[in-house]
Amino acid sequence: FDGTEVEVSQIVLPLPIDAAATEVERTRERLAAIRGEILEEERTFEGAAREFSAGESAAEGGKLGPVSYTHLT
């Protein structure tokens, strides 16, 4: 490719590998609700990441930094 990089961010909600189907569904619903609030501009992605994410980048608003486009395909 042409070396294009994109900024990548994430929101991580923990889920045990042996989670019951009901727990998986609750987590999906929670993620969908968070996504909806972001899309409706009720909160920013960065704010949601700080509040809800269990990922290492939560304090930085979920930002992982630039990633080569080729790594995303």
28-40 pLDDT, tens digit per residue, is: 999 999 999 999 9
pLDDT digits 0-9 by tens, 14-67:
999 999 999 999 999 999 999 999 999 999 999 999 999 999 999 999 999 998
For the record, the structure tokens of 19 come out as 């989670």
Other C-beta atoms within 10 Å of 8: how many?
Answer: 14
pTM over 0.85: no
